[in-house]
Chains A and B, each alone.
Chain A
Amino acid sequence: GAVVSQHPSRVICKSGTSVKIECRSLDFQATTMFWYRQFPKKSLMLMATSNEGSKATYEQGVEKDKFLINHASLTLSTLTVTSAHPEDSSFYICSAPGRNTEAFFGQGTRLTVV
Chain B
Amino acid sequence: GEDVEQSLFLSVREGDSSVINCTYTDSSSTYLYWYKQEPGAGLQLLTYIFSNMDMKQDQRLTVLLNKKDKHLSLRIADTQTGDSAIYFCAESRGGGATNKLIFGTGTLLAVQP
Binding site for B on A (CB under 8 A): 6, 32, 34, 36, 42-46, 49, 93, 95-98, 100-103, 105-108, 110
Nearest 5 Cβ contacts at the A-B interface = A43-B1, A97-B99, A103-B99, A105-B43, A44-B103
Number of A-B contacts (CB under 8 A): 62
Q: B13 near A: Cβ within 8 Å?
A: no
Closest residue on chain B to residue A45 by CB atoms? B1
Quick one: which of B33, B41, B101 contacts A108, CB cutoff 8 A?
B41
Residues of A contacting B97 in the complex (Cβ-Cβ under 8 angstroms): 97-98, 100-101
Binding site for A on B (CB under 8 A): 1-2, 4, 31, 33, 40-43, 45, 48, 50, 88, 97-106
A93 to B42, Cβ gap below 8 A? yes
Q: A45-B1, A103-B99, A103-B101 are in contact. List 6 more A-B contacts (CB 8 A).
A: A36-B103, A43-B2, A43-B88, A95-B99, A107-B41, A110-B40
Residues of B contacting A110 in the complex (Cβ-Cβ under 8 angstroms): 40
Residues of B contacting A43 in the complex (Cβ-Cβ under 8 angstroms): 1-2, 4, 88, 103-106
Residues of B contacting A46 in the complex (Cβ-Cβ under 8 angstroms): 100-102
Known: A43-B88, A44-B1, A101-B48. A34 touches B99 (CB 8 A): yes
Residues of A contacting B42 in the complex (Cβ-Cβ under 8 angstroms): 6, 93, 105-108
Query: Measured between alpha carbons, how far is A43 from B100 in the docked complex, in Å?
Result: 15
Interface centre among A6, A43, A98, A102 (most CB of B within 10 A): A43
Query: Measured between alpha carbons, how far is A32 from B100 in the docked complex, in Å?
Result: 10
Residues of A contacting B43 in the complex (Cβ-Cβ under 8 angstroms): 44, 93, 95, 105
Known: A44-B88, A106-B42. A95 touches B104 (CB 8 A): no
Residues of A contacting B4 in the complex (Cβ-Cβ under 8 angstroms): 43
CB distance from B5 to the nearest CB of A (A): 10
CB distance from B47 to the nearest CB of A (A): 10
Residues of A contacting B101 in the complex (Cβ-Cβ under 8 angstroms): 34, 44, 46, 95, 103
A49 to B100, Cβ gap below 8 A? yes
CB distance from B58 to the nearest CB of A (A): 13
Closest residue on chain B to residue A10 by CB atoms? B40
